[in-house]
């Protein structure tokens, strides 16, 4: 729960480290505090296990001219102290989930992570979560690709790898967490208007009332001098020591770079999930190439990135304004578009800016046709095609109703986990208006030629269409199958 401390002129953020017992939360924070040159307070512990919290304060970086004061907190991981954990997590601006990546602890960590995400995704805006896969030096560690697969199946997550005992990756994870917290502040003005979260003293008193006695509390400095770590600087803010960026001549043939998770705040949409998804894309090593239409594009590892021919702007503000308008368009089309989309107004040399869109690649209707092999029963083929016809029809009706500029076809339409039609392709560039569009025979255009070929190959398919459940509807496609059967077999 971010807040502005007017007395000191700072923005206060709370970074909460969560995770099961012995995952490395305390070790992480103590290592981080040592790197940042600040003290750690641990009110009480038992045989190395935190009973209340570990707490450190760090001041560094700027947000709208104010220094950023980070309250860095760990939670007790024991199940019997769940109430204390929840009390702390619910005050977080970002949560860094310390995952014990050893094989014998991994499943428990995934279960805890799912519990955390049920809460974080219900918040508005969502509270960003960074998964810190710890103990990566252990010979029994779970492979990185397994961690990514299990975590990303739950929700958009940024995943880092660390060895907390020697500090590898710890500071980088913290910086990413602070960036996500600042994204959340930008996304919701009323975040700063909410009552401040409980102080350390209030937390201790409240936790003590939950059943544990407080023996001692150590005071630490509430402020620390900034060090040289890479502070997240928001869009429009400047460091006093930052040298001016020298203008470079614009070269339209210079290959641009896909934006990374260090992109300044205010230039990414959606604000929190967008940076998390950028972090995922940054690990994939996608190569940008010039497309036939003159745009820059990269595809691979389940993602597509594109910057159109008209997406280069003379100023960074021009790109940002276009991104905001584009983001509003995406928001209006919510429910029609596949999830996991990112818009970025990426800064470029010479004060210029470039728009990018990144979309996770999801199966389209065309992909499901490959599942219909020669051994597939005619009844299954008929029902699959009738289902695709209905999906196309619903997608086109929604596109016409809400002036979607994307075409409706087998390559651009898919089905979401709830079975609803969604457009899975790239969105049209900003400034492109929807053409005059009327409901056409999209089913006949897209599926007619396919049915014609299949009926020729499968003499029994027309009869299968006729026998298909009436609830699947689309008599026009059934009629086409019958007519094609007559054409080929009678």
| Overall pTM > 0.95 | no
Average predicted confidence (pLDDT) for the chain: 84
**Least trusted range by pLDDT, from 83-92, 241-250, 331-340:** 241-250
Q: How far apart are CA 275 and CA 127, in angstroms?
A: 12
* pLDDT tens figures, 252-292: 678 999 999 999 989 999 999 999 999 999 999 999 999 98
At residue 228, the pLDDT reads 32
Residues 6+ apart with CB under 8 A from 422: 335, 336, 337, 338, 395, 413, 414, 415, 416
At residue 334, the pLDDT reads 87
Contact of 66 with 10, CB cutoff 8 Å: yes
**Tokens 């800016």 sit at which residue?**
353
Of 269, 484, 252, 485, the residue nearest 356 (C-alpha) = 269
Q: How far apart are CA 358 and CA 296, in angstroms?
A: 12
At residue 179, the pLDDT reads 94
At residue 23, the pLDDT reads 93
The two three-digit tokens of residue 22, written as one number: 């012995």
Q: Is 99 helix (H, G, I), strand (E, B) or coil?
A: strand
The torsion defined by the Cα of 233, 239, 241 and 244, in degrees rounded to 10, comes to: 90
pLDDT range class, residue 476, cuts 50, 70, 90? confident
Q: Is 82 helix (H, G, I), strand (E, B) or coil?
A: helix
At residue 293, the pLDDT reads 86
Rg (CA), the chain: 27
The two three-digit tokens of residue 42, written as one number: 């641990």
Q: Is the pLDDT of residue 218 over 50?
A: no
The 10 Å Cβ neighbour count of residue 489 is: 11
The number of C-alpha atoms within 13 Å of 257 and in the hemisphere containing its C-beta is 12
Q: How far apart are CA 160 and CA 170, in angstroms?
A: 9
The two three-digit tokens of residue 438, written as one number: 């009327």
Number of H helices, E strands in the chain: 13, 18
Of 435, 452, 446, 441, the residue nearest 413 (C-alpha) = 446
Exposure string over 113-123, b if 16+ CB within 10 A, otherwise e: beebbebbeee
At residue 177, the pLDDT reads 96
**Least trusted range by pLDDT, from 240-249, 375-384, 407-416:** 240-249
Query: What is the dihedral sign for C-alpha 334, 290, 368, 400?
Result: positive
Residues 6+ apart with CB under 8 A from 426: 304, 306, 357, 359, 406
């Amino acid at each position: 729960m971010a807040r502005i401390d007017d007395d000191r002129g700072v923005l206060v953020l709370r970074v909460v480290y969560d995770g099961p017992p012995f995952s490395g939360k305390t070790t992480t924070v103590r290592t981080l505090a040592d790197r940042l040159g600040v003290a750690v307070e641990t009110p009480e512990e038992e045989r190395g296990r935190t009973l209340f919290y570990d707490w450190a304060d760090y001041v560094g970086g700027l947000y709208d001219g104010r220094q950023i004061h980070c309250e860095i907190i760990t939670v007790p991981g024991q199940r019997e102290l769940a109430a204390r954990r929840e009390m702390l997590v619910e005050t977080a601006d970002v949560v860094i989930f310390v995952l014990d990546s050893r094989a014998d602890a991994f499943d428990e960590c995934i279960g805890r992570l799912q519990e955390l995400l049920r809460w974080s995704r219900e918040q508005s805006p969502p509270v960003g979560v960074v998964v810190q896969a710890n103990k990566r030096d252990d010979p029994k560690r779970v492979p990185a690709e397994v961690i990514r697969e299990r975590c990303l199946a739950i929700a958009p997550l940024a995943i880092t790898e660390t060895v907390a005992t020697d500090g590898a990756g710890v500071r980088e994870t913290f910086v990413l967490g602070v960036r996500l917290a600042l994204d959340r502040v930008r996304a919701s003005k009323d975040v700063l208007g909410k009552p401040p979260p409980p102080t350390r003293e209030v937390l201790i008193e409240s936790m003590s009332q939950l059943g544990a006695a407080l023996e001692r509390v150590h005071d630490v400095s509430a402020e620390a001098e900034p060090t040289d770590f890479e502070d997240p600087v928001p869009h429009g803010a400047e460091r006093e020591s930052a040298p001016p960026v020298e203008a470079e001549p614009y070269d339209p043939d210079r290959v641009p770079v896909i934006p990374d998770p260090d992109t300044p705040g205010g230039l990414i949409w959606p604000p929190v999930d967008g940076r998390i998804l950028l972090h995922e894309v940054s690990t994939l090593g996608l190569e940008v190439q010039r497309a036939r239409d003159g745009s820059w594009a990269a595809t691979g590892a389940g993602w597509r990135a594109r910057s159109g021919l008209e997406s280069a702007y003379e100023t960074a503000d021009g790109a940002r304004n276009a991104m905001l308008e584009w983001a509003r368009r995406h928001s209006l089309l919510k429910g029609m578009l596949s999830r996991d989309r990112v818009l970025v107004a990426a800064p470029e040399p010479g004060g210029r800016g470039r728009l990018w869109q990144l979309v996770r690649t999801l199966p389209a209707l065309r992909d499901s046709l490959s599942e219909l092999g020669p051994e597939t029963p005619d009844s299954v083929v008929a029902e699959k095609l009738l289902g695709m016809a209905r999906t196309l029809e619903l997608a086109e009706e929604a596109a016409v109703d809400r002036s979607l500029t994307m075409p409706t076809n087998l390559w651009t339409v898919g089905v979401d986990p709830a079975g609803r039609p969604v457009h899975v392709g790239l969105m049209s560039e900003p400034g492109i208006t929807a053409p005059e569009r009327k409901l056409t025979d999209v089913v006949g255009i897209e599926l007619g030629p396919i049915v014609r070929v299949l009926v020729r190959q499968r003499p029994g398919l027309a009869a299968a269409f006729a026998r298909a459940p009436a609830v699947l509807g689309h008599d026009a496609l059934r009629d086409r199958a019958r007519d094609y059967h007559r054409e080929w077999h009678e």
